[in-house]
Amino acid sequence: MTEDPDATQRTSIPPQLMENLSPEAAILMARKERAQSVRARGEDPFTNQVGEFTRVGEVVARYAEARVDGKYDAARVTAIGGTARVTGRIVSVRSFGKASFLRLRDATGEIQLFCKKDTLGADYERLHVAGGEIEIADHVAAEGSLMVTKTGELSIEAKSLRLLTKAHRPPPEKWHGLQDVELRYRQRYVDLVANTEVADVFRARALLIRALRKFLDDHGFLEVDTPSLVTLVGGAAARPFHTHHNALDLDLFLRIAPELFLKRCLVGGFDRVYEIARCYRNEGISTRHNPEFSMLEYYQAYATYETLMDQTERMLRYVDHALAAAMPEAHERWLKSRVYTLDRPFARIPMAKAALDAARATKIPEIVVACDGGWKTVVDFLDRTLRDSPERIKEWSKAQARAIDWGNFRKGLSKCENAGERLFAVYEYLAEPFLASDYRTGPVSDDTSRSIPVFVIDHPYEISPLARRKDADPSLTDRFELFIEGRELCNAFSELNDPDDQAARFRDQVEKKTRGAEETMDYDEDYIRALEHGMPPAAGFGMGIDRLVMMLCSQPSIRDVILFPLLRPES
């Protein structure tokens, strides 16, 4: 048994020329020569005349009942009978001289082609192993009857074999050679063929988006489209991309969120709307951030953020179950690698309590004592101490029970302008990094323990310019962020529909911008006018689609779930 011979063998290109070429160039030239040989006999190596065919997955499904304990029973396959004509890419070739096995793959699955010289006749000579042009990576059409090999594999005994597309470039060695991460992202078209688990992730992505749509459609939501080119920055605190419309001579921004337009729909009488939107934020790139990303936003009239917390739990379980039903093998693989669970009720904790609990968890005596006065006391104590006595950082670093980044925490506090921003800084540095270890099904040391998703609720109004203030405490808002295994997935809140309050917060954003803040919103006069027409009480929700796929498919980087992520140009 031999693998398909090297692509440079059996070529008419002079040896001295081949020796002067790089290995890649030599293979490319040899494969192009084989394409020319197809043309020379009057055939097109890039034909569009395909004819009728059956997808591989449909063929395999037809014989599913003949599979027993992982192998196919020849008698059952014979009893079902039938022939099939399939198309796809050749992903491996094994030759035994007068017989060869080709593995054929299309988007629905793989099947083996059993090619015998006696059966195929002249078509067998088209195989590269027999001196012809058909080889690994080529697209072909094959027709024959179904059979079972000695090893119990369902196969098509080919009666005809025809080249559809000649691949000038070969795949990575043995289809598993594409390991360089940047090369994988840059040549995703090769990555998808070489790494089937990568293709599974993008199939899952499409399935998850369909499941989200079905969940929302079934709950009475209307899908709408809103502008991606806008004249004002709004809907989130982020730095935008700039562009220009030539015909109108108008400077524009790429949207950072569809929020303000979707809430205009609420004013107009559509009381449940959603959009799966492409958004753009001119920010840094990391494993969780990409300047171009997909977001689900939906808005529901006559609902509160508590309504949406319940709905979020149901929605995430719904789409995960849909993924398990559609891709059971891949889902089982991803499930085993998860360090969190969606099966338990999600935790719900106010940001102030999370900050207070985290301060106590440092086990630094003077911080613990300050906690007795409540969250405002400990926030003021930390702010005053780190501002006036920064040398205490060394002492605290030695005495603390957790690894806290005191240096950056101090810098973050120094930029805060009010109590709400200081509370958020304490939460961000003392609590958020430890959510996955603080909320679990059991002790961290337990191998079976999993983290529980956490809704961090009741954010300060100063960091929530579009959220409704709490009736019980106007310094806070009816807002939540959902964290799963320490990663933020969702942001939602009861919507602010008081036009005067919203106008004041817009003015505050503009004032920050005049002081040099880049991640702020503009004053949107038309949106205020819309609110003056009356927006019903409502709650709104935003979730990164890319982060959802990362989470459910156990992917470490956002680039692993974006087909063609932004990269620097090749040198």
> What residue ranges define each of the domains in the chain, with the CATH number in brackets?
2-170 (2.40.50.140)
Task: Report residue 227's pLDDT band, with 50, 70 and 90 as the boundaries.
Answer: very high
Question: Hey, what are 419's tokens?
Answer: 């109590």
Task: Report residue 540's pLDDT band, with 50, 70 and 90 as the boundaries.
Answer: very high
- Residues 505-519 have pLDDT tens digits of 899 989 988 888 878
Count CB neighbours of 396 within 10 A: 17
Give the span between the Cα atoms of 173 and 27, in whole angstroms.
13
Question: Hey, what are 124's tokens?
Answer: 């067998």
Q: Tell me what pLDDT residue 562 has.
A: 96
Give the span between the Cα atoms of 99 and 112, in whole angstroms.
13
Contact 125, 229 (CB under 8 A): no
Residue 111 one-letter amino acid: I
Residue 44 one-letter amino acid: D
Indicate the burial class of 435 (C-beta count within 10 angstroms; 0-12, 13-18, 19 or more). buried
Q: Between 278 and 174, where is the model more confident?
A: 278
Q: Tell me what pLDDT residue 512 has.
A: 87
CA dihedral 377, 378, 383, 385 (to 10 degrees): 100
Can you spell out the DSSP letters for 465-503? TTBPBPSS-TTBBSEEEEEETTEEEEEEEEBP--HHHHH
Q: Among candidates 558, 338, 374, which has minimal Cα distance to 475? A: 374
Q: Among candidates 154, 316, 299, 160, which has minimal Cα distance to 235? A: 299
Instruction: For residues 425-443, give the mean pLDDT.
Output: 96
Residue 3 pLDDT > 60, yes or no?
no
- Residues 244-303 have pLDDT tens digits of 999 999 999 999 999 999 999 999 999 999 999 999 999 888 888 899 999 999 999 999
Residue 176 pLDDT > 80, yes or no?
no
Quote the distance between the C-alpha of residue 336 and its chain's center.
19
Give the span between the Cα atoms of 62 and 439, in whole angstroms.
47
- Residues 90-130 have pLDDT tens digits of 999 999 889 999 999 999 999 999 999 999 999 999 999 98
In which element (H, E) is residue 522 found?
A: none
Task: Report residue 15's pLDDT band, with 50, 70 and 90 as the boundaries.
Answer: low
Contact 464, 493 (CB under 8 A): yes
Residue 346 one-letter amino acid: F
Give the span between the Cα atoms of 404 and 445, in whole angstroms.
21
Q: Tell me what pLDDT residue 252 has.
A: 96
Question: Nearest-5° angle of CA 84, CA 76, CA 81?
Answer: 30
Question: Hey, what are 47's tokens?
Answer: 């034909």
